[in-house]
Amino acid sequence: MEFVFAYITAGSREEARRIGRALVEERLAACANILDGMTSIYRWQGAIEEASETVLIAKTRAELFDRLALRVRELHGYEVPCVVELRVGRGNPAYLDWLRDETA
């Protein structure tokens, strides 16, 4: 079984919390970590922008990523939210068992 982390950015801590809670409640993720205080610099519609964002990392099984990404897009306020898959190579077997069980 393969596991992934979904790296997601949100416009606020509240938005990240709402999305993370929904993903865990719906068993699309076993855990969601929220990291405040990120500054993003990016190009949007031809202009360089800078904004404060919050990082959300959702831990799940690879087979659930497409459903998770769709749910994030439904809940997210951005027109084009960042939702990317980061593959997990190896990990604590007991932790990975827990991750599997909580997303079953």
Q: What is the pLDDT of residues 76-99, one digit of tens each?
A: 999 999 999 999 999 999 999 999
- pLDDT of 1 higher than 90: no
Q: What is the pLDDT of residues 43-61, one digit of tens each?
A: 999 999 999 999 999 999 9
Q: End-to-end alpha-carbon separation of the chain, Å?
A: 12
pTM to 2 decimal places = 0.94
- Mean pLDDT of the 23-39 span: 97
Domain ranges of the chain: 3-102
Nearest to 84 by CA among 61, 65, 101, 104: 65
Beta bridge partners of 47: 44
* Contact (Cβ atoms closer than 8 angstroms) between residue 6 and residue 72: yes
Which pLDDT belongs to residue 58? 98
User: Domain 3-102 adopts which CATH fold?
Assistant: Alpha-Beta Plaits (3.30.70)
Q: What is the pLDDT of residues 2-12, one digit of tens each?
A: 999 999 999 99
